[in-house]
Structure 1
C-alpha cells in the first residue's frame, strides 16, 4: 500500500523538446494522426489549477531552440533546462531530483504528445488514487509487449509514459530499487522505451503495487505482479499490443467515470 499523502499540492512536470512548436501534429505508425503540443498541456493543467492546488513545472531539452519561451513563462510556475540525453526521462529524472526530499505528494509526469482534446479529468484521477492505495501508478494508455525484442509473443504489460500519476514516495522506492531513475542517459529511442517506460512499470510491479490504466470508455483496469510475472494471458481482459492502434482518440487523457 502507498504511503499517506502529506502535502495537498499536486506536482506536475511537463517535458518538452525545445525545437517543437507550441502546437503540432503527431504521427505514429498505424496510429491516427492527432493534434498535440505544449500549449494544450499548459491549458489543461492551468484549468485544473483553478480548482486544485497544482505546481506546474516545465523541463525543456535543447532549450536554445525554443522560440516560445515568453509564452511558457507566463503559463507555468517554473522552467528547467535539461539535457536531451534520455529525452522525456531526462525531464522526469531532473524533476524527481528537485522533489525527492519533499513531503509525500501526488506527482504527474507527462510530455507534450498528449492529445489536444481537453477533458476535466484530474479530480477523478486523484479520487481514484485516494480510493485505491494499492495502485502505484495510474496511466491513460498501455502496451502489452516489448515490441523491439527477439522473444516472440512476449507479454509485458506496461503504462505508456506520456502521462503518469504517482507519488513522490513511490518514485523514491523505484529509484532505491533500481539505483537510479529509469531511462537516464539513453539516447536510442527504442532502448529508452525498454529501459525507461517499460522498466518504470516493471519496477512498480516488483514493489508489489498494481498499475492502473484509464480506458477510453472512462473505466479503470488494474493489473498487478501476478499478471506480469506469470505471463497470464488468460488473466488479461483488454486489447493485446499497443492500445493506441484501436483507440478512437489516441493519447487522450480520459476522465474516470
Structure 2
C-alpha cells in the first residue's frame, strides 16, 4: 500500500473511532490524575570518542540562501550556505565531521569544497538523507550525531561545545532538539497529545540510533513518499520510539533552558512530564527554527 493511501486509511479509522478517541483524550487531560513516575530513565551508552558527525540534508532544487514561510509562523531566512558557515567555522574542542546528503542531486548546480557529499533518493525527503547517513556510520565507533537540514534559521550562535558537554553530562537524554510540537496536526483527533522534537535539528548518538532502528525494524520514515504521512511516520515516530526506549527528550528553549520530557510509565505518552506550550513551539517565536544558546545556569 502506498504511503498516501495508508495515511488516508489511518484517517478513516480515526473518523470511525473519533467518539472514543476524543472522549479518551478528554478524560485523560481533564479528569484523570497524572500517574507518579514508576520507571527510571534509561542510561545512554557513553560515546567512544569526542567526535560529532553532522549530516545536513538538502533538496537539490533549493538555493544556497532562501526564505521560508510556514502557515501561522513568522518567516525566516535559511539555507545550505548558513549551515555550512555554521559548521565550517567551528574551532571548538570537539572533532566535527561534516556530510551533506542531497536528494534530486541533478538539480544541484553548485560545487562544495572539503565536504563529503552523498546523493540520495527523494523518497522520504530529509529522512532519506538521515537514513543513508546512518547506514554509513552505524558500524563505526559510538559518537555524537547531529541530523539536520537546511531549514534552520540563518542566525549564527556558538552552540556545539555547550550542547555536547550538556549531552555528555545527561546520559538519560536520548535525543536533543531546538523546537518541539505537542500535537500531531496530521490527524482528525484535534485534542491528541503527541509530544515530539521537530526533525530539522536532532542531536543524539550512534548507539541510540541503532537501538531506535532495531526497535522499529527500520529507520523511521524510510520509504515514505507522502509528506503528511512522513511527519507521522518519521518525525513523530522517531521521538516516540526514543521515549519508548526509556530515554528523555530535551529541547533547548528560546531563553536557553533545557526542557526535559519523557514517559513516566508504560501507559504514559509524555503527559505526566509536560509543563510547556501546547502545539507547535514555533508559533510563539519571533525567530523560529533557530538554534538557541544553552543557558548553563539553567542547565
* TM-score interval for Structure 1 and Structure 2 normalised by the shorter chain: over 0.9
Match in the other structure for 1:241: 279
Whole-Å Cα distance in 1 between the matches of residues 100 and 190 of structure 2?
38
The alignment yields a C-alpha RMSD, in angstroms, of 1.4
Aligned-residue offset at 1:225: 1.3
Q: Deviations over 1:48-74 (max 9, x none)?
A: 255431100000001110111x1x2x1
Match in the other structure for 2:17: none
TM-score calculated relative to the size of structure 2: 0.82
Distance 1:231 1:173, change over 3 A: closer
Q: Is residue 145 of structure 1 aligned with residue 183 of structure 2?
A: yes
User: How many aligned residue pairs are there?
Assistant: 253
Q: Is residue 178 of structure 1 aligned with residue 220 of structure 2?
A: no
Q: Is residue 56 of structure 1 aligned with residue 91 of structure 2?
A: no
Q: Is residue 15 of structure 1 aligned with residue 57 of structure 2?
A: yes
Match in the other structure for 1:212: 250
Distance 1:238 1:21, change over 3 A: same
Q: Deviations over 1:146-173 (max 9, x none)?
A: 0111223111100000000000000000
Q: Is residue 114 of structure 1 aligned with residue 152 of structure 2?
A: yes
SS in 1 for 2:58: strand
SS in 2 for 1:147: coil
Larger radius of gyration: 2
Q: Deviations over 1:111-161 (max 9, x none)?
A: 000000000011111011111000000000000010111223111100000
5+ unaligned residues in a row in structure 1: which ranges? none
Aligned-residue offset at 1:238: 0.9
Whole-Å Cα distance in 1 between the matches of residues 245 and 221 of structure 2?
18
Q: Is residue 46 of structure 1 aligned with residue 88 of structure 2?
A: yes
Residue of 46, 56, 63 corresponding to 1:4: 46
SS in 2 for 1:225: coil
TM-score calculated relative to the size of structure 1: 0.95
- Within a 5 Å distance, the mapping from 1:75-94 to structure 2 comes to 76-94=114-132
- Within a 5 Å distance, the mapping from 1:122-161 to structure 2 comes to 122-161=160-199
- Does the 8 A contact of 2:264 with 2:272 survive in 1? no
- Does the 8 A contact of 2:263 with 2:272 survive in 1? no
Residue of 240, 248, 259 corresponding to 1:202: 240
- Does the 8 A contact of 1:86 with 1:184 survive in 2? yes
- Does the 8 A contact of 2:262 with 2:273 survive in 1? no
Match in the other structure for 2:109: 67
Whole-Å Cα distance in 2 between the matches of residues 46 and 198 of structure 1?
30
Distance 1:39 1:119, change over 3 A: same
Whole-Å Cα distance in 2 between the matches of residues 227 and 152 of structure 1?
24
- Does the 8 A contact of 2:55 with 2:148 survive in 1? yes
Whole-Å Cα distance in 2 between the matches of residues 216 and 60 of structure 1?
30
Q: Is residue 36 of structure 1 aligned with residue 61 of structure 2?
A: no
Q: Is residue 163 of structure 1 aligned with residue 201 of structure 2?
A: yes
